[in-house]
Every structure is written in C-alpha cells, then in structure tokens.
Amino acid sequence: MLTVHCIECTLIAADSVRVRLLRDLPYEVDDTDDTREPIVFWDTQGGHFPENTEEDDIMKKGSLLSNDMEAAIAMSHVDNLVKASVKPKDIAVVTLYNAQVALLSQLLKTNILVLNW
C-alpha cells in the first residue's frame, strides 16, 4: 500500500510494507538489483524521452500523453523481474496517463497489472 501526497509530490509506503522486497516473496526469487530495492524510479526528463500526444475520441478528455521510451524502460524492468522469477501476478506498473496505460497494456500482454494513478 502506498500513500501519495500530490501537493508535496511525496510517495510514502505504509509501515506494514515499508521494508518488503520482491526477493522476500514467499517463493523462490533471485537476489538481483531489481529485486532488492523496495521501489524504483527513473528520471526521464530530457530530449531522449519525447511524449506522444494522442486525441482520445472515446473519452472526449482531449489530448492524452504516452511515452514510448518510458514504456520501453518499464518493459525492460518487468522483463528483468520475470527473469528473476517474480510471478507476473505480483508485478504492477503505475502511470499517470490513460494513453500510457493503453500502450503498456498492449506491450505487456500478460497478467501484469497496469494502473492509472
């Protein structure tokens, strides 16, 4: 469980999961760089991560954003987790934009949960 304070842009894990790691799941998971950190963030600011703008005709909310390079990073991280024996049902990807949810869901095509936050 995560608590998010959007005003201050802080992300705080609940006390019950603050120190929980993927390598400590109740089944065999490899001890890797990807499984020994409680949460991972990548800085994607800059010219190498251009955003795509799509018109959302169905929802009529206007322009939605997605980012192919950010999706590629997420895919790589998910792939590393699966290779480390983390079960897809125990992996979730969180994004802010509906178009990014659609892009990631299409790319992953597995039981990985993609959430719009």
Give domain limits for the chain: 2-116
Residue 22: how many other CB atoms lie within 10 Å: 20
pTM > 0.85: yes or no: no
> Which of 93, 90, 96 has its CA nearest to residue 106?
93
Residues 71, 108 contacting (CB under 8 angstroms): no
Q: Summarize pLDDT for 57-94 with one digit per residue, the tens.
A: 434 443 477 888 888 888 999 999 999 999 988 888 88
Which neighbouring-strand residues pair with 116?
Answer: 95
Overall CATH class of domain 2-116 = alpha beta
pLDDT in tens, 8-44: 566 777 888 888 899 999 999 999 999 998 877 777 7
| Helix 98-108 and helix 68-83, axial crossing angle in degrees, nearest 10 | 40
What was the pLDDT predicted at 47?
65
Q: How far is CA 116 from the centre of its chain?
A: 10
